[in-house]
Amino acid sequence: MRLTQYLDLLNRWNGKFNLTAIKDAKEQVSKHLLDSLAVAAFIEDTELLDVGTGAGLPGIPLAVLFPNLNVLLLDSNSKKTRFLTEVKAQLKLDNVQVLHARVEAFRDRRFEQVICRAFSPLPELLPKVAHLIEQQGRLLAMLGQSPEHAEPDQLGASTYEIHSLNVPQLEESRHLMVASLN
């Protein structure tokens, strides 16, 4: 129910704020909702920072799925954070906080889990978000294609694993990189 409400809000606000290029309802379910939820097995039930969240993906679907998970949605676009504030209110998501800031400028605190989807090219990703990850924390980077074999130090990570994700109704490949800091 809440995820349907989310898609309704997304479609209503999309005309004004250009939140997504995907307008087909079936594609929105597969490429937004199911894609976001495909990482559920890797989420720890503590706290999650969604960097460059845009329209709230994957943060909103994960917040709905895990009501005990505190989800912080970070984006620099004020139109998108306005939309997310409305989503939080309409869906009564008490476990969501919306933050309007650039990732480079947000230095208020560190997180155990930082997730991003289509945020930055992989070699630039960890350096951009490292200041947000706790010492024993993890970066969860949602990817399309599996990256070519890269050494962990090339990515700024001490270790990383690549997991293939199965997204129902989606033919394109999806992967999740789980990285820990040096």
Give phi and psi for 154, each to the nearest 5.
-65, -30
State residue 120's pLDDT score: 81
135-149 pLDDT, tens digit per residue, is: 889 999 998 877 665
Total-model pTM: 0.92
CATH code assigned at 137: 3.40.50.150
Q: DSSP string covering 136-168, please?
A: EEEEEEEESSPPP---HHHHTEEEEEEEEE--T
Task: Evaluate the omega torsion of the peptide bond into residue 58 and state whether it is cis, within 30 degrees of 0.
Answer: yes
How many structural domains are present in the chain? 1
State residue 3's pLDDT score: 97
Domain containing 21: what range? 2-181
User: pLDDT under 50 in the chain at which residues?
Assistant: none
State residue 169's pLDDT score: 87
